Amino acid sequence: MDFQGTLFEAAPATPDFSGLIRTPLTRGAWVDVCPAWLPEADDVFRALLDDVPWRAEQREMYDRVVEVPRLVHTYLRGEALPHHRLVEARESLSAHYAPELGEPFVTAGCCYYRDGQDSVAWHGDTIGRGKIHDTLVAIVSVGDSRRLCLRPRGGGDSISVELGHGDLVVMGGSCQRTWEHAVPKVARAGPRISVQFRPLNVF
């Protein structure tokens, strides 16, 4: 495992939204980015790595069953998260976005990208309510930097956000329906874990 933690953590003592920048996208979608948002990101990364019951997923591709190139686990509503800073993160996000979201974030999907060959293909989180309603998905990223790419469904210019250790990105408005996102493979990368907070019945 070649991830090196930060020697001096730049993040504040509690999650702080003052550095947040919102970028409006087309068709009522938007994306918020807040660098170095998560306190104790090194500790959170290690807890996630060690304590999450990671599992590999498989999917059918043409006539074969292939491994999905990342490990996953989802904490459902009411299940204990592996670090108190993640509980604090979920609560801060619920409070900050309450005026727009109108409900709390309750689930935490975790994805572990072991190296640059792990990735996720273009998709929107459209299982459940995200298919027809506006919603928010908040992602906290720890470990090595990876690019989260976004492109409009049906074609158009893509944008990308470089997600570093402790950074927050929130996709909102119609983003899950009208845009797609992906984490592409890269030639070299160390381990990265993303935690996606979602409201109930958004997958």
Interface ranges with ligand AKG (CB under 6 A): 109, 111, 120, 125, 139, 141, 148, 181, 183, 194, 196
Q: Which is nearer to ligand AKG, 53 or 99 (CB)?
A: 53
Distances (CA, A) of 96 to 24, 143, 188: 18, 24, 35
CA distance 177 to 185: 24
Kindly state the DSSP code that residue 140 receives in the 8-state scheme.
E
User: Least distance from C-beta 16 to ligand AKG, angstroms?
Assistant: 21
Q: Which is nearer to ligand AKG, 63 or 166 (CB)?
A: 166
Tell me which residue has tokens 């108190």.
84
User: Least distance from C-beta 102 to ligand AKG, angstroms?
Assistant: 22
Question: Residue 180 has which token pair?
Answer: 């797609």
Q: Which is nearer to ligand AKG, 15 or 109 (CB)?
A: 109
CA distance 145 to 193: 10
Kindly state the DSSP code that residue 102 receives in the 8-state scheme.
-
Q: Which is nearer to ligand AKG, 107 or 194 (CB)?
A: 194
User: Least distance from C-beta 181 to ligand AKG, angstroms?
Assistant: 5
Distances (CA, A) of 110 to 49, 125, 148: 10, 14, 15
User: Least distance from C-beta 145 to ligand AKG, angstroms?
Assistant: 11
Q: Which is nearer to ligand AKG, 7 or 201 (CB)?
A: 201
User: Least distance from C-beta 64 to ligand AKG, angstroms?
Assistant: 22
CA distance 42 to 179: 31
Q: Which is nearer to ligand AKG, 13 or 202 (CB)?
A: 202
Distances (CA, A) of 34 to 9, 109, 163, 198: 15, 19, 10, 17
User: Least distance from C-beta 104 to ligand AKG, angstroms?
Assistant: 19
Residues 6+ apart with CB under 8 A from 155: none
